[in-house]
Amino acid sequence: MADRRPGERSTVSRAWYLLLLLPFIGLLWPPFYAKDAPRLGGFPFFYWYQFLWVLLGAGLTAVVYWATTPRRGGRR
């Protein structure tokens, strides 16, 4: 990364990476979601819950990307 930050701020930006653990927790413990009800649009919970995690996982990664990528010039 181009600009080295002072220690304090880089610790804050490192904490963002913890968000990336959430998909592992949400998906690698099937007892959370191995059930039929409630259904959504005909989809059993088991299926729509995991589809929801595709969006959540991508969203979390995007958040971490924006939070940890150094900005240049006038943008933010």
Partner 1 sequence: MNGVALAVFIFFFLLVTVVGFVAARWRRADLGHLNEWGLGGRSFGTIITWFLLGGDLYTAYTFIAVPALVFGAGALGFFALPYTIIVYPFVFLVMPRLWSVAHKHQYVTPSDFVRGRYGSRGLSLAVAATGILATMPYIALQLVGIQVVLQGMGIGGSAASTLERDLPLFIAFAILAAYTYQSGLRAPALIAFVKDTMIYITVLVAIFYIPAKLGGWGHIFDAAGQTLPHHTPPGALILPQKQFVAYSTLALGSALALFLYPHSITAVLSSAGRNVVRRNAAILPAYSFLLGLLALLGFMAIAAGLKPATNNLAIPELFNKMFPDWFVGFAFAAIAIGALVPAAIMSIAAANLFTRNIYREWLRPDATPREEASMAKLVSLVVKFGALAFVLFLKTEYAINLQLLGGVWILQTLPAVVLGLYTRWFHRGALLLGWAAGILVGTWMAWSAAFKSVAPFTLFGLDTTVYPALVALVVNLLVAAVATPLLDAARADRGSDETAEADYREEAAPPIEALAEGPGSRS
Which is closer to partner 1, CB of 13 or CB of 50? Answer: 50
Q: Cβ closer to partner 1: 13 or 47?
A: 47
Backbone angles phi, psi at 35, to 5 degrees: -145, 160
Among 65, 36, 33, 64, CA closest to 50? 33
Provide the minimum distance between the beta carbon of 7 and partner 1 in the complex, in angstroms, as a whole number.
16
Task: Give Cβ neighbours of residue 3 (< 8 Å, ≥ 6 apart).
Answer: 70
Q: Applying CB under 8 A, which residues contact partner 1? A: 1-2, 17, 20-21, 23-24, 27-31, 34-36, 39, 41-44, 46-47, 50-51, 53-55, 57-58, 60-62, 64-65, 69, 72
Amino acid at 33: Y
